[in-house]
Amino acid sequence: MNIAADVLSILLAFAAAGAGFPKALDKGSAPAQLRDHLKVRAGLVPLIGLAEIAAAVGLAIGVFWRPLGIAAAIGLVLVFVGAVAYHGRAGDYADPKARGGATGPIVLGLTATATIVTLSLSL
């Protein structure tokens, strides 16, 4: 179970960091899409990015100290639940053209949940 926990932690850390840095730095199309399409308040976008970066760091350290990895993965689940709620409010799951992009938070939320389980079992 240790190898699965480590692999999931590192993959999720890369995904969280990759998603977090553009939001934290307000660069690229992701922050603009959050503000324009999902109607996320402008001040909240960098905070979401910082939460994702913090989770990425926590997951990386969690390879060596499991409780921090579990806490980081729980934080990411909460971030992704919020993302699913915003996509739902924007009607992305009913729109076939937008549905593909809106499934990312669901997949990553499920991956974060699997990470929590594997990290917990490897304690």
Confidence of residue 1 (pLDDT cuts 50, 70, 90): confident
pLDDT in tens, 53-91: 999 999 999 999 999 999 999 999 999 999 999 999 999
* Residue showing tokens 């699965």: 4
The pTM of the full predicted model, rounded to 2 decimals, is: 0.93
Q: How many domains does the chain have?
A: 1
For residue 108, what are the domain limits? 2-121
Buried b (16+ CB within 10 A) or exposed e, 58-75: bbbebbeebebbbbbbeb
